[in-house]
Amino acid sequence: MPLDYSVPGGEHLSLGVVRLPASGRRIGSLVVNPGGPGVSGIDYARAARSVVGAAVRERFDVVGFDPRGVGESAPIKCLSDARLDAFLAADPTPDSAAEQAHLERVSKEFADGCQARSGRLLAHVGTADTARDLESLRRALGEARLTYLGKSYGTFLGAIYADMYPNRVRAMVLDGAVDPALPRLRLAREQAAGFELALRTYVQACLAEQACPFRSHSLAGALAEVSSLLRRTDSHPLPSTAGSDPSVDPETRERDGGTGSAKSDVEPSEVRKASEALATLGLLTPLYDRNSWPELTETLRQAFAGDSTLLLRNADNLTGRQDDGTYTNQTEANLAINCADGPYPHNPNAYATRESPRFGPSITWSYLPCAYWPTPPTLTNKPVKAHGAAPILIIGTTRDPATPYRWSQTLANELDSAHLLTYNGDGHTAYANGSPCVDTQVDTYLLTTTTPPDGTICPGPG
């Protein structure tokens, strides 16, 4: 693929692609994207048996690719593992000028590191260029029109593609939609509100069970306990009892040259601790999936007892930190793509918020590197129409924590040919997540291009 599509004869980059062949009489190729941005589409396609219905796998090759800047496709790199540890652990609720100055410093360090290590890529990893890659992939697959399944950020990619190439759409499922028209920090604040709603829903369900870890028996009291836990980690990071950390703490690794590799003389007493930032991620991660609520219960029980082992494990799953202390490039790619996809304020004070008190500050401040980004955005925040596209199926979950239901409603109104399927339930995205109603409607649409009747609502469990 051209690094810069305006210079097609210039430098090129390679994209990693994988295909699972159809098991029966083939219709064509289904290209899948799991979201992120920064999550591997290759890994997603390799898990196709759990993310795509059997009837669809029988008739379609399932194709996944790592978008440019991600995984096996010219990955963005910005910081050493040690400095990523420090960046991710930085206080997301600065209470003083000194704390905010530290957050500004590590955020600028992140942006500067991306420029130093991946500068030639930064202007070319936005979603508009990935949509052009998707069109090149369609042609390489020999498909007259694209059949596509995108979840979360993958809906944003799909919507941008459909707007750029409306006549090339055969069928497109956008599950857990992102609204392209929303300003970037408003997206962050509304996402935080979605996680607050998910937490409240979880707590209400938990309080109805005998094994709930809260001392209080009221919603307000239990939420106050969560807030108290996070405040405690703000001033006193919570240690893990999982044993010594296989990686060295950031200061030690910086003394050793910032390689991010463990030294053989690490003292057994060196254990990781959950700062407020990591504790917040550790609580947020199980809220993505209702099936992970029992894990959240155990995470809270452990944290209330003073142990951050599960908090840290959950946070690591979300940020791409591996057991040996090294990172995939998931976090770096996520920020690089987000910073390219729309204008962000340059004033750090714009990232402060009092909304959604348990998640709002952490989520909005996490985008502060975009205030210092060295390249201009390649997209503006505006509605997409995709005029002339074939019918597009959008799925919205009423209590989706990461992509609030209203975003699916709005995108369905923006796209000329969109049809909205509603799942009345919890969790992030709905297809292949336990709803036979959703699965049947999506499989039928992918196989036949027939959309569900407008206003169709699939019930949640119970």
Active site residues: 152, 400, 428
Q: What separation in angstroms does the CA of 263 have from each of 82, 86, 208?
A: 13, 18, 48
Nearest CA to 310 among 230, 362, 242, 245? Answer: 242
442: nearest Cα among 394, 398, 406: 394
136: tokens are: 């090149």
Helix boundaries (H) for 242-329: 250-255, 276-284, 293-304, 309-319
Helices (H), 236-286: 250-255, 276-284
Q: Is the CB of residue 364 less than 8 Å from the CB of residue 353? A: yes
Q: Which amino acid is at 221?
A: G
CA distances to 134, 142, 166, 202, 281 from 145, in Å? 11, 9, 10, 42, 39
Residue 322: CB atoms within 10 A of its CB come to 12
Select from 397, 396, 378, 394 the least CA-distant residue to 386. 394
- The DSSP 8-state label assigned to residue 262 in this structure reads P
CA–CA separation, 215 and 192 (whole Å): 25
For residues 86-106, one letter each, b for 16 or more C-beta atoms within 10 angstroms of the residue's C-beta and e for the rest, the string is bbbbbbbbbeeeeebeebbeb
Helix axes 184-207, 293-304, angle to 10 degrees: 80
Q: How far apart are the first and last CA of the chain?
A: 48
